[in-house]
Amino acid sequence: MPPEIVSDGGSVGGRGRVFLYMAMCISALALFGCAGADGGARLSYSIFFPPGHAQTRAAAQWAAEIEARTQGKIKIVLFPGETLTKSTRVYDGVVNGVSDLGMSAFAYTRGRFPLLEGLDLPLGYPDGKIATKAANAIFHKYNPPEVKDVRIMYLHAHGPGVLAARKEIKSLTDMKGIKVRGTGLSAKIVSSLGAVPVSMGQGETYEALQRGVVEATLCPIETLKGWRQAEVVNYVLTTAATGYTTTMYSIMNKDRWNSLPDSIKDIFNQVNEMWIEKQGQAWDSADEEAKVLLKEMGKPNTRLAPGEEEIFVKAVDPMLEDWAASLEERGLPGKSVLADLRALVKEG
> What is the model's pLDDT at position 11?
32
Range of the domain at 211: 161-244+288-347
> Is there a domain that residue 296 lies in?
yes
> Is there a domain that residue 327 lies in?
yes
> Is there a domain that residue 106 lies in?
no
> What is the model's pLDDT at position 348?
86
Number of independent structural domains in the chain: 1
User: Which helix (DSSP H) or strand (DSSP E) does residue 155 occupy?
Assistant: strand 150-157
> Is there a domain that residue 277 lies in?
no
> Is there a domain that residue 78 lies in?
no
User: Mind listing the pLDDT tens digit for each residue in 296-317?
Assistant: 999 999 999 999 999 999 999 9
> Is there a domain that residue 28 lies in?
no
> Is there a domain that residue 178 lies in?
yes
> Is there a domain that residue 10 lies in?
no
User: Mind listing the pLDDT tens digit for each residue in 210-224?
Assistant: 999 999 999 999 999
Measured CA to CA, the distance from residue 72 to residue 87 in angstroms comes to 29
CATH number reported for the structural domain that contains residue 300 in this entry: 3.40.190.170
> What is the model's pLDDT at position 1?
63
> What is the model's pLDDT at position 8?
59
Helix 128-142 with 334-347: angle, nearest 10 deg: 140
> What is the model's pLDDT at position 38?
42
Which three-class secondary structure state does DSSP give residue 129?
A: helix
Residue 43 has phi, psi (to 5 degrees) of: -110, 135
Q: Is residue 224 within 8 Å of 158, Cβ to Cβ?
A: no
> What is the model's pLDDT at position 110?
86
> What is the model's pLDDT at position 7?
66
User: Which helix (DSSP H) or strand (DSSP E) does residue 196 occupy?
Assistant: strand 196-198
Which residue ranges in the chain fall short of pLDDT 50?
Answer: 9-33, 35-39
> What is the model's pLDDT at position 282?
96
**Residue ranges in 151-297 assigned as alpha helix (H):** 186-192, 202-211, 223-226, 254-259, 262-297
- pTM of the model as a whole: 0.89
> What is the model's pLDDT at position 23?
40
Residues 6+ apart with CB under 8 A from 221: 159, 162, 164, 236, 238, 287, 290, 291, 294, 301
